[in-house]
Amino acid sequence: MSRTIPEDAHIEVARSAARLFLQKGVADTTGDEIAEAAGISKRTLWRYFRTKESCVEPLFALASQRLAARFRDWPTENSLEQFLQVAYDMSKIDAQEKIDTGLLIHLIARLDEEPALLGPWHMSSRNTEETMAEVISKRLDLSPKDFDVMLCAATVAAAMRIVDENVSRGAVKYGQVPTVAETNDRLAQAIRRASTLPFCDPVTPRPR
């Protein structure tokens, strides 16, 4: 009988796969090595993951979930800049999230050399788009399925992806490590430039 992976074990597999991909490259990493590093059987690994590249999907998904949780707590009376300053206060982010973020930064920085990682990354970007549709619709009292909301969410998510890729590539390949404030400022500027709807400034909820 194959072993069942507990929910929280999926992320441990993803972390193990990420570390191996960064050490050896995707092509030179085997599923057997990922299973061994994660402490599970090969049979169990292949029961829950389609390919070795898909093993990192839970790590990208967790980052998307964390982003969604933060953006859903964006107070209507705060601007985008005020929100980012509070949401990404590094003193309030736990050690494991910082480790996970470091792994993701290095994976994203290697997308050009490791195109096999584009699938998980683009899936994460799609999740960001869905999150932003929820956020925009809530702030503007519109439906998340409204065309203008979906269009705005798509352009904003693309801008956020480009910022992530540029910051990650610059940090890993060129030693350009911005401060949290600088990253937040770059992200805020990109979101504002990409926005096709006025959701970045404080909004007044409509009376019910």
Q: Quote the longest CA-to-CA distance of the chain.
A: 59
Query: Is 208 part of any domain?
Result: no
71 and 36 in a common domain: no
Nearest to 199 by CA among 145, 170, 163, 156: 156
Q: Is 136 exposed, middle or buried (0-12, 13-18, 19+ CB in 10 A)?
A: buried
At residue 132, what are phi and psi to the nearest 5 degrees? Answer: -65, -30
117 and 64 in a common domain: yes
Residue 109 belongs to domain with CATH number: 1.10.357.10
96 and 49 in a common domain: no
91 and 44 in a common domain: no
Query: Is 181 part of any domain?
Result: yes
84 and 30 in a common domain: no
What residues make up the domain containing 151?
A: 59-194
Give the chain's mean pLDDT. 94
Query: Is 73 part of any domain?
Result: yes
68 and 49 in a common domain: no
Per the structure, the count of domains in the chain is 2
Distances, alpha carbon 161 to alpha carbons 89, 170, 188, in Å: 21, 14, 13
Q: What is the pLDDT of residues 46-84, one digit of tens each?
A: 999 999 999 999 999 999 999 999 999 999 999 999 999
Q: What is the pLDDT of residues 124-169, one digit of tens each?
A: 999 999 999 999 999 999 999 999 999 999 999 999 999 999 999 9
Domain boundary pick from 55, 75, 94: 55
Q: What is the pTM of this model?
A: 0.91
Helix (H, G, I), strand (E, B) or coil at 16: helix
Residue 23 belongs to domain with CATH number: 1.10.10.60
Query: Is 104 part of any domain?
Result: yes
Nearest to 45 by CA among 85, 24, 16, 84: 16
Query: Is 95 part of any domain?
Result: yes
104 and 13 in a common domain: no
| Residue position matching structure tokens 């430039």 | 193
| CA 123/CA 158 separation, integer angstroms | 12
At residue 99, what are phi and psi to the nearest 5 degrees? Answer: -65, -45
